[in-house]
Amino acid sequence: MNHDIKAHLVDLMRAALQSVVPAEAGTPVALERPKQAAHGDFSCNVAMQLARALKRNPRELAQLLLSEIPPSPLVARVEIAGAGFINFHLQPAAKREAVRAVLAQGEAFGRSPAGAGRKVQVEFVSANPTGPLHVGHGRGAAYGASLSSLLAFAGWDVTREYYVNDAGRQMDILGLSTWLRYLDSYGETIPFPPNAYQGDYVREMAQQMRRAHGDKYLRPAAAVLAGTPGLPDRERSDDEAKQQRELHLDALIGNAKDLLGPDWPYVHAHALTEQLADCRDDLEQFGVHFDVWFSEKSLFDTGLVARCVERLEQAGHLYVQDGAKWFRSTAFGDEKDRVVQRENGLYTYFASDIAYHLNKYERGFERIINIWGADHHGYIPRVRGAIAALGLAPEVLDVALVQFAVLYRNGQKASMSTRSGDFVTLRELRGEVGNDACRFFYVLRKSDQHLDFDLDLAKSQSNENPVYYIQYAHARVCSVLAQWGGDEARLAQADLARLDNPRELALIGMLGEFPEIIEAAAADLAPHAIAFYLKDLAAEFHSYYNAERMLVDDAALRDARIALAAAVRQVIRNGMAILGVSCPQSM
């Protein structure tokens, strides 16, 4: 209904434009919600938009337009404010229609046709399957899942996708780490590289291999270490020392592949399978579901990476230097050119990323949204450049950056390093504060803003805890409806004219805003706007509940107030469902 009102007001303004300045009748008319209730329900700045071009005083132009606005049964009055804003005050009866719309549409209230069924792919999390997900990954998961639900609610055909980095060096390091722990369990001890994966989960995977296959993969420690460069002192952290550690690790991987021969793929696949299964399970329990788990390895197996590099080469965007093939990404705004194929013939991560994006375009997505960590900001120009170099439309790609989430427990900042094994897992966090608090707190800030996760607040049952505060509003309505005990189906026929006090009209006004919030949040890729709105709606309802009795003796007034409360409950449910947060009936 509220969209109908906005469309109606736009038509009124367009009629006024046709009368006052016919040549400008096609000017886009934007309606905004004033921040102060005294300024009306909707505000229009079209007079200020046109004033300069028409060389007219904006306030005088606004006055002329106001005088030509046709009368409407939905509008109580129209006023001029400030430099030339045209403010509309709706009739209370027009506002109350929002309550009927909520009750009639139920779970569909707020849905928008804006996406028009267009295909959008949202790729998120995509963490290397080299260890359990930590609390930093959790923020990307919560944001991506909420954004996907929001876009679907706004009319898009959404595909949720996880890009599995199952090819390349990181998986080799995980396979090696697991094998070294396996050898150690048999007494074949090799000094464990500090840049390998350290966590207990690696030891568990090694024990699984031993239980399943005994000593099948046992090799002498001396052979594993043969020909490897020495390790620098552990205390050294300079660049040379880091490089030496990486060379030592690569030599160990090379020896592992040679010594295990045809058994190496099993060790590699075992580590991948176990960690990917753990990741899937963790995300499913978190309420984060993916339609597609896309294998990086498949890009090589199908020849797409090679085809992609050849296509760039034929288009003149590659050059050879020191035996390696370089992409001229500086021609597309990047700070330097990038290697796509090394001198040894191996393709880089960047080459497979280009191929992955080509695959996305070839699958026919009309919009592609990548959700990346904020540390990938510099990666955007080279990916966009590669897309343009392939002759594709870079504007199809949106990149939403997610800042790292930092967990504070007892005032102490927790480490997040996956390789060191010293990190707080998403599973541990969920076990401590619950899924609902995790999902809500993760999207309580704009995604590219820093987030300190306040553990004490997330666990508290107080009005300061926003998720508890919203859920409590929902539970309060459920309690009122249970005490009322009537047939909810007949609330649609309630005499809403009885809802006439300022608190009721303010609450009704907020319900009417929900469809606009959905459209704006979807357009801005901003599910945090839903969280803010729900906090404000809960606050408005609690204020109303504390000021007015619901179950009054006057049957007509009682039914009207129950209808309003039921509408509030429905909108809370709709909003919380987008955010992946439950709505308990009692608390």
pLDDT band at 136 (very low <50, low <70, confident <90, very high): confident
Q: pLDDT of 56-104, one tens digit each?
A: 999 999 999 999 999 999 999 999 999 999 999 999 999 999 999 999 9
The verdict on residue 300 lying in a domain is yes
Separation CA 356–CA 289 (nearest Å) = 21
Residue 348 has pLDDT above 60, yes or no: yes
SS3 label, residue 371 = strand
The CA distances from residue 405 to 124, 358, 423, in Å, are 15, 31, 13
Same domain, 46 and 142: no
Same domain, 55 and 136: no
Q: pLDDT of 363-422, one tens digit each?
A: 999 999 999 999 999 999 999 999 999 999 999 999 999 998 888 878 778 665 555 556
Query: What pLDDT is attached to residue 368?
Result: 98
77 CB burial (10 A radius; 0-12, 13-18, 19+): exposed
Handedness of CA 389, 391, 393, 399 (dihedral sign): negative
The verdict on residue 72 lying in a domain is yes
Separation CA 273–CA 129 (nearest Å) = 9
Residue type for 524, please? D
Same domain, 51 and 123: no
- Average per-residue pLDDT for the chain: 94
Q: Are strands 338-341 and 324-327 parallel, antiparallel or unpaired?
A: antiparallel
Residue 467 has pLDDT above 70, yes or no: yes
The CA distances from residue 388 to 104, 330, 331, 394, 564, in Å, are 47, 13, 11, 6, 52
- 402, 417, 448 - which closes a domain: 402
**Average pLDDT rounded to a whole number, residues 437-456:** 94
Same domain, 285 and 397: yes
pLDDT band at 35 (very low <50, low <70, confident <90, very high): confident
Same domain, 559 and 484: yes
The verdict on residue 253 lying in a domain is no
Nearest C-alpha neighbor of 246 from the set 422, 423, 421, 419: 419
Separation CA 469–CA 280 (nearest Å) = 31
Nearest C-alpha neighbor of 211 from the set 255, 270, 165: 270
Same domain, 17 and 107: no
The verdict on residue 185 lying in a domain is no
Residue 2 has pLDDT above 80, yes or no: no
Q: Look up tokens 């870079």; give the residue.
A: 394
Nearest C-alpha neighbor of 331 from the set 312, 348, 349, 304: 312
Residue 344: alpha-carbon gap to chain centroid: 38
Separation CA 52–CA 143 (nearest Å) = 42
Which residue range(s) make up the domain with 40? 2-90
Separation CA 80–CA 489 (nearest Å) = 42
Give the number of domains in the chain.
3
The verdict on residue 504 lying in a domain is yes
Same domain, 79 and 103: no
320 CB burial (10 A radius; 0-12, 13-18, 19+): exposed
Q: Look up tokens 């992946």; give the residue.
A: 580
Say what percent of the chain tops pLDDT 90: 89
Q: Are 479 and 509 in contact (CB under 8 A)?
A: no
The string of DSSP letters for 25-66 reads TTS---EE--SSGGG-SEEE-HHHHHHHHHT--HHHHHHHHH
Write the DSSP symbol of residue 491. Answer: G
Q: Are 19 and 530 in contact (CB under 8 A)?
A: no
pLDDT band at 3 (very low <50, low <70, confident <90, very high): low
pLDDT band at 125 (very low <50, low <70, confident <90, very high): very high
Q: Are 5 and 74 in contact (CB under 8 A)?
A: yes
Q: Which residues contact 149 (CB under 8 A, 6 or more apart)?
A: 527, 577, 578, 579, 580
The verdict on residue 489 lying in a domain is yes
SS (H, E, C) 279-295: HHHHHHHCCCCCCEEEE
Q: Which residues contact 494 (CB under 8 A, 6 or more apart)?
A: 556, 559, 560, 562, 563
Same domain, 126 and 61: no
Separation CA 534–CA 536 (nearest Å) = 5
Q: Which residues contact 273 (CB under 8 A, 6 or more apart)?
A: none
Written as six digits, the tokens of 130 are 């080299």
pLDDT band at 320 (very low <50, low <70, confident <90, very high): very high
Separation CA 237–CA 223 (nearest Å) = 28
- 380, 402, 424 - which closes a domain: 402
Same domain, 105 and 27: no
Same domain, 478 and 335: no
The verdict on residue 236 lying in a domain is no
Same domain, 385 and 529: no
CATH of the domain at 517: 1.10.730.10
Q: pLDDT of 261-287, one tens digit each?
A: 999 999 999 999 999 999 999 999 999
Same domain, 308 and 290: yes
The verdict on residue 416 lying in a domain is no
Residue 291 has pLDDT above 80, yes or no: yes
Separation CA 129–CA 174 (nearest Å) = 9
CATH of the domain at 58: 3.30.1360.70
